[in-house]
């Protein structure tokens, strides 16, 4: 049997829910419920494209010019997005993670990230995926195993959808956020927040997405009474849909409509809702940046749930 490009496949099942987590990058390849596939994933025989279901560690989104300064020292990372000259979505997406524990409903994968060019720090990472009656939950933990502080941020890149064969245009979108980050043409924040009120980015009340192009960082997120922020893509009446939820460690959410994906056939087939603990380019601007002290651990939790 030919090995999958995404490595070992870990199938999770709970009632009518099925998820597949993969060894490479500890990503989410598939998630379906009784109503069908609710994430726009990829096949076991395919390579991941467009960041589908990947974890973004130890930073989400872009670092401008693949360069940052930390504690008075300059660090240069490999350029991983030539179009913008940026280092994008961290260092762990193409690395096989090891399985620590697996059952029919839960799997934990781990990775010891070694010091490397542009990031000479030692991180121990773990990711646990669990299926239950309330959907899919993901716990991510990072521990600084080195002897010096290190910069850190966490994110994830699931694409959600309502139907397997339709566009997201007719779906209704709800984003409980007060502002967006103003960015340049590379997607790098310029240091200003823009209120969403009276703009096309105001989804504080659910409304039709339409043809709006999104590659936008939302912030000042409004959590519910339980402290959880919920971003929902639903049918017009709201009877069916998908929610990406995130705990209070996630102060930002990137929402991407997929209009610039390399495969034209995949464009606008799913909406990427990306929980992020920090802003794009946080290693430079500091917005939401976590500084892990030696021996310190930080965890964040997010998930996906059908309505």
Question: What are 10's two structure tokens?
Answer: 């870990």
pLDDT score of 91:
98
Q: Kindly tell me if the per-residue pLDDT of 21 is higher than 50.
A: yes
DSSP state of 116: B
Model-level pTM greater than 0.75? Answer: yes
Instruction: Report the chain's mean pLDDT, rounded to a whole number.
Output: 96
Let me know: does 253 contact 276? Beta carbons within 8 Å.
yes
The closest of 154, 121, 161 to 139, measured between CA atoms, is 154
DSSP letters spanning 247-298: -TT--EEEEE--TT-SSGGGTTSSEEEEEESS-TTHHHH-TT-EEEPTT-EE
Q: What pLDDT, on a 0 to 100 scale, did the predictor assign at position 120?
A: 98
Q: Is the pLDDT of residue 113 over 90?
A: yes
* pLDDT for residue 1 is more than 50: no
And the tokens for 139? 């716990």
Domains assigned to the chain? 9-306 (2.70.98.10)
| pLDDT tens by residue, 238-266 | 788 999 999 999 999 999 999 999 899 89
Q: How far apart are CA 140 and CA 146, in angstroms?
A: 19
Cα–Cα distance, 145 to 164 (Å, whole number): 42
pLDDT one-digit tens code per residue, 154-201: 999 999 998 777 899 999 999 999 999 999 999 999 999 999 999 999
pLDDT greater than 90 at residue 84:
yes
What pLDDT, on the 0 to 100 scale, is given for residue 175?
Answer: 98
Q: Does residue 102 register a pLDDT over 80? A: yes
């Amino acid at each position: 049997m030919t090995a999958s490009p995404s490595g070992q496949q870990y199938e999770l099942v709970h009632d009518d829910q099925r998820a597949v987590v993969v060894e490479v990058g500890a990503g989410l390849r598939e998630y379906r419920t009784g109503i069908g596939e609710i994430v726009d994933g990829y096949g076991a025989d395919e390579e991941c494209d467009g960041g589908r279901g990947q974890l973004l560690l130890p930073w989400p989104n872009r670092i401008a010019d693949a360069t940052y300064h930390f504690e008075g020292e300059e660090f240069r990372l490999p350029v991983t997005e030539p179009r913008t000259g940026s280092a994008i979505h961290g260092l762990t997406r193409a690395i096989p993670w090891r399985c620590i524990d697996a059952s029919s409903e839960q799997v934990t994968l781990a990775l010891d990230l070694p010091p490397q060019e542009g990031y000479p720090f030692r991180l121990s990472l773990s990711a646990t995926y669990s299926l239950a009656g309330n959907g899919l939950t993901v716990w991510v933990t990072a521990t600084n195993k080195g002897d010096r502080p290190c910069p850190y941020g966490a994110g994830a890149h699931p694409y959600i959808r309502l139907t397997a064969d339709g566009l997201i245009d007719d779906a209704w979108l709800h984003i409980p956020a007060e502002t967006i980050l103003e960015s340049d043409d590379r997607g790098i924040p310029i240091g200003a927040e823009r209120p969403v009120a009276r703009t096309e980015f105001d989804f504080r009340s659910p409304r039709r997405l339409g043809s709006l192009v999104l590659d936008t960082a939302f912030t000042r997120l409004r959590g519910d009474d339980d402290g959880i922020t919920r971003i929902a893509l639903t049918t017009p009446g709201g009877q069916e849909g998908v929610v990406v939820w995130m705990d209070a460690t996630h102060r930002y959410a990137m929402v991407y409509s997929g209009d610039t994906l390399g495969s034209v056939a995949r464009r606008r087939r799913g909406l990427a809702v990306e929980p992020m603990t920090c802003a794009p380019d946080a290693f430079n601007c500091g917005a939401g940046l976590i500084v892990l002290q030696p021996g310190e651990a930080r965890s964040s939790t997010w998930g996906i749930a059908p309505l």
